Copies of this chain bind each other. A is one copy, B any other.
Amino acid sequence: MSKKLTSRATDYSKWYNELVVKADLAENSAVRGCMVIKPYGYAIWEKMQGELDRMFKETGHQNAYFPLFVPKSLFEAEEKNAEGFAKECAVVTHYRLQNDPENKGKLRVDPEARLEEELVVRPTSEAIIWNTFRGWIQSYRDLPLLINQWANVVRWEMRTRLFLRTAEFLWQEGHTAHETREEALAEAELMNNVYAAFVEKFMAIPVIQGLKTESERFAGADETYCIEALMQDGKALQAGTSHFLGQNFAKAFDVKFANKEGKQDYVWATSWGVSTRLMGALIMTHSDDYGLVLPPSLAPNQVVIVPIYKSEEDLAAITEVAESIISDLRVKNITVKYDNRTTQRPGAKFAQHELQGVPLRIAIGPKDLANGTVELARRDTLTKEIVGLHDITDKVDGLLHEIQDTLFNKALKFRNEHITEVDTFEAFKEVLEVKTGFISAHWDGTTETEDKIKELTKATIRCIPLNAKLEEGVCVYSGKPSKQRVLFAKAY
């Protein structure tokens, strides 16, 4: 079985698909557009979940669980939201199968078991949650209501790709209710900050925070905050979004509260989410032609130890050394795996761990035993060195931090080198052809211009960066006046 990947230079998209499958992260399933997340991929997702969940709880949010199904009448209540998701939703119409009288051994939908009202499989849960919030909120004492849900959602996408765009995906969706517009806006910003902090600190991916334009906003939102990352092929990826929903859902579901003066008012809302799509961002930011490269903060195994031996005697001596290293590393909360499988040769193990992005590999052979050393190999730089046993714990601990920083800084340098300011539409198109990446350009603020640029170049406005400096200019396409540059890119 060849583990060799197509190179990124040859075919980036093929490289990605091969890596995802060969590194045992995910694979396509028998259900169109739905993936199977394999144990190794799921272990990385679990680490991401763990950190995010902690960050949500630290900012006062509580987890809950709401139904998978949304009755059609609730689904259609918030008109823009319904319009945005109606075209790609899975609909349950029946609740029973029966033996197919025309096909022995086969089943068919029982025509008599038709639901009175169709159920939409949630593409997002605002409708079912706001219908529930109506019963939970009576007065300002019940606010803010800060809820998060870990769940699966379904959007019937026509063109799917493992992790990046799948018909079913896993995500978390925060849904909060507030007394005032200001509080809800602050919450939406806070959670966008939490996402940025998580993605930068743990995933080692630099992001740009910004606002979406009206046409790129979440269906039903008054404002969408986002974090945008840049992949190695120069395409952008939306890594997370946080929406200020105004009073739209409160009005659609009649959720009012008595304020401190005793007056009834509609509550203000936010929602925010990140999904298994982040796995795609993680892979595409750091990995190379040899396979996955993982930031130590999210690696299921930060270190792997491979014994190299010919005799059982050597193995016993190596195992003794390995166990001592393992116990020292565990004291420092470093996750380490001793790969003493007898079904694989060391070369095959090296190749597998390289492909799966284990940050550090320690090899121990008979020579090392004699010299009191080990061979330490670093996945991100593919470099090796001989390290004395007495130094190994500190060395590993230091290197794991160094790798985490190196990955972030490398991605940051690449991202910064791929933000190009342009002032003409010719230059705009040239960047897309030659250099790719983000294009910082003036835009006249109209959906018309945005659509036209998209039609001509396939580039979209990724975001209006937060806190960007004001600068007088003219729209790169229409020549109309503009006060701030926005970021364009081709995107996943």
Interface of A toward B, CB cutoff 8 Å: 27, 29-31, 34-39, 42-43, 45-46, 62-72, 74-76, 79, 82, 86-98, 105-107, 109, 118-121, 128, 131-132, 135, 141, 147, 151-152, 154, 156, 168, 170, 343
Separation in Å of the A244 CB from the closest CB of chain B? Answer: 23
Report 24 cross-chain contacts, Cβ distance below 8 Å, ordered by A residue.
Answer: A27-B132, A29-B66, A29-B67, A29-B132, A30-B71, A31-B119, A34-B67, A36-B64, A36-B66, A37-B64, A37-B65, A39-B63, A42-B63, A42-B65, A43-B62, A68-B152, A75-B107, A87-B96, A90-B92, A91-B95, A91-B96, A92-B121, A93-B109, A121-B121
Secondary structure at the A interface, as helix, strand, loop or mixed, is mixed
Contacts A36-B66, A39-B63; A91 near B86 (Cβ below 8 A): no
Separation in Å of the A162 CB from the closest CB of chain B? Answer: 13
Contacts A42-B63, A76-B106; A91 near B94 (Cβ below 8 A): yes
Contacts A89-B95, A89-B97; A65 near B170 (Cβ below 8 A): yes
Separation in Å of the A471 CB from the closest CB of chain B? Answer: 43
Contacting pair A97 B69 (CB below 8 A): no
A68 CA / B74 CA spacing, docked (Å): 22
A34 CA / B79 CA spacing, docked (Å): 24
A305 CA / B333 CA spacing, docked (Å): 33
Q: Which 9 A-B pairs have the closest CB atoms?
A: A39-B62, A34-B67, A37-B65, A86-B97, A95-B156, A91-B94, A31-B67, A93-B93, A90-B92
Chain B residues contacting A135 (CB-CB under 8 Å) are: 27
A416 CA / B390 CA spacing, docked (Å): 58
A489 CA / B87 CA spacing, docked (Å): 50
Separation in Å of the A301 CB from the closest CB of chain B? Answer: 12
Chain B residues contacting A94 (CB-CB under 8 Å) are: 90-91, 93
Q: A30-B131, A75-B97 are in contact. List 16 more A-B contacts (CB 8 A).
A: A29-B67, A29-B132, A30-B132, A31-B67, A31-B71, A34-B69, A36-B67, A42-B65, A43-B62, A43-B63, A68-B68, A69-B168, A76-B105, A86-B96, A86-B107, A93-B93
Chain B residues contacting A66 (CB-CB under 8 Å) are: 29, 36
Chain B residues contacting A106 (CB-CB under 8 Å) are: 76
Contacting pair B96 A89 (CB below 8 A): yes
A72 CA / B97 CA spacing, docked (Å): 9
Separation in Å of the A31 CB from the closest CB of chain B? Answer: 5
Q: How many copies does the complex hold?
A: 2
Separation in Å of the A173 CB from the closest CB of chain B? Answer: 14
Contacts A95-B89, A96-B87; A31 near B69 (Cβ below 8 A): yes
A101 CA / B123 CA spacing, docked (Å): 23
A42 CA / B170 CA spacing, docked (Å): 18
Chain B residues contacting A154 (CB-CB under 8 Å) are: 68
Contacts A46-B63, A156-B96; A82 near B107 (Cβ below 8 A): yes
Chain B residues contacting A79 (CB-CB under 8 Å) are: 105
Chain B residues contacting A43 (CB-CB under 8 Å) are: 62-63
Contacting pair B93 A91 (CB below 8 A): yes
Contacting pair A107 B36 (CB below 8 A): no
Chain B residues contacting A31 (CB-CB under 8 Å) are: 67, 69-71, 119, 128
Chain B residues contacting A343 (CB-CB under 8 Å) are: 141
A250 CA / B197 CA spacing, docked (Å): 46
A72 CA / B30 CA spacing, docked (Å): 11
Contacting pair B90 A168 (CB below 8 A): no
Chain B residues contacting A128 (CB-CB under 8 Å) are: 29-31
Chain B residues contacting A147 (CB-CB under 8 Å) are: 39
Separation in Å of the A421 CB from the closest CB of chain B? Answer: 42
Separation in Å of the A413 CB from the closest CB of chain B? Answer: 34
A292 CA / B196 CA spacing, docked (Å): 40
Contacting pair A74 B30 (CB below 8 A): yes
Contacting pair B72 A107 (CB below 8 A): yes
A209 CA / B75 CA spacing, docked (Å): 45
Chain B residues contacting A76 (CB-CB under 8 Å) are: 105-107
A243 CA / B463 CA spacing, docked (Å): 52
Chain B residues contacting A89 (CB-CB under 8 Å) are: 95-97
A133 CA / B131 CA spacing, docked (Å): 40
Separation in Å of the A89 CB from the closest CB of chain B? Answer: 6
Separation in Å of the A234 CB from the closest CB of chain B? Answer: 31
Q: Which interface residue of A82, A120, A121 has the most chain B CB atoms within 10 A?
A: A121
Chain B residues contacting A93 (CB-CB under 8 Å) are: 91-94, 109
Separation in Å of the A154 CB from the closest CB of chain B? Answer: 7
A74 CA / B107 CA spacing, docked (Å): 11
A118 CA / B111 CA spacing, docked (Å): 13
A64 CA / B39 CA spacing, docked (Å): 5
Closest to A98 in B: B86
